[in-house]
Amino acid sequence: MSVQLNYQTQGSGEDVILVHGLFGDLDNLKTLAQTLETDYRVTRIDVPNHGQSPHWDMMDYHSLAQSLVSLLDELGATKAHLIGHSMGGKIVLATALLYPERVASVVAADIAPVPYAPRHQRVFAALTSLPLDGSVDRKEALNHLLARGVDDATAQFLLKSFRRAESGFSWRMNLDGLIASYDGIIGWPFSNDSYHGPTLFIRGDESDYVTAEHKDAILTQFPKVQLKSIGGAGHWLHAQKPSIFNRLVKNFLDSQRPELHG
C-alpha cells in the first residue's frame, strides 16, 4: 500500500524520521528536529488520520509500518533512524520488527511494546460531544473540554487540531477513524518478534506508561536496548524536559557514527 503522508524535511545527513503520538501532528517533535538537523536529514510526519495526512477508516501497526517504509522509498532512503512518542513509539517499534533491514536504530519515548488498557474514553467523549456547527468558538470549545474532565494541557493540545471550516468548525484529525481503530492502537500484536538493532527507550519517571513490569517485554523484543528515565517528567517528556530529551536522543544517534569517536 503506497501512502502519501504529509511530511516536512530539514537538514542533511543520515535519515531520521520523527513520529508523533495520538491526536498530535508533525509539529509535536519540532524542537527535536531542530536539535538534530545540523547532523541529520530529519523528516517529521503527520501519521494517517492526523494533520494533513490521508484519513483511513481503520489503522493498525502493520499498515502504519508499511506507510513509513513507503515514505523511506519516496525519500530515496535505504534505511533510517526512527523516533516516536507514545503511539508514534509503537509505530516505529512495529516498523523495526517488521522491516529491520530499513531501520538503522529506533527510539521509543514513553511507550512499551505491550497492549494497554483503554485510557482515552473521556477525551473521545469530550471531542465527539463538541458541536461543530459554528455555535461554539475556540474559547467555548476549551471550556467544553475542561467541563468534561479533560485537563488543561491536554485540552490545549487537542485544540491545535480544531479549525474553522466553510461552515462551523472541524477537526483536522479523523476522529471517526481514530475511534474505530482505538483497540488496535492500544493493542500490540508482535509478542514473538524481535529487532536486534540499536534501541533506546526513554521514559518519564512520573509516567505510568513504562513500568518495571514492562522490562521483560522490552528486553525480549528489543534485546540491544538502552533504558533511560527523565526525572520530573511525565508522559509528555519531550515537551516537559526538551533539553534533556533532545540531548539523550542526539547522543544515542551520534554514538552510532564511528567518525565522531575516532
Nearest-CA neighbor of 10 among 42, 36, 32, 38? 42
| Annotated catalytic residue within 86, 105, 181, 207 | 86
How far is 245 from 262, CA to CA, in rounded Å?
25
Identity of residue 194: S
| Annotated catalytic residue within 50, 120, 235, 238 | 235
Query: How crowded is residue 223: how many other Cβ atoms within 10 Å of its Cβ?
Result: 11
Q: How many residues belong to the chain?
A: 262
Q: Give the pairing type, strands 7-10 and 40-45.
A: antiparallel
Is residue 86 part of the annotated active site? The answer reads yes
How far is 117 from 183, CA to CA, in rounded Å?
9
Q: Where are the beta strands (DSSP E) in 86-133?
A: 103-109
Nearest-CA neighbor of 107 among 227, 231, 233? 227
C-alpha cell of 40? Answer: 541529520
Is residue 53 part of the annotated active site? The answer reads no
How far is 248 from 229, CA to CA, in rounded Å?
10
Residues taking part in catalysis = 86, 235
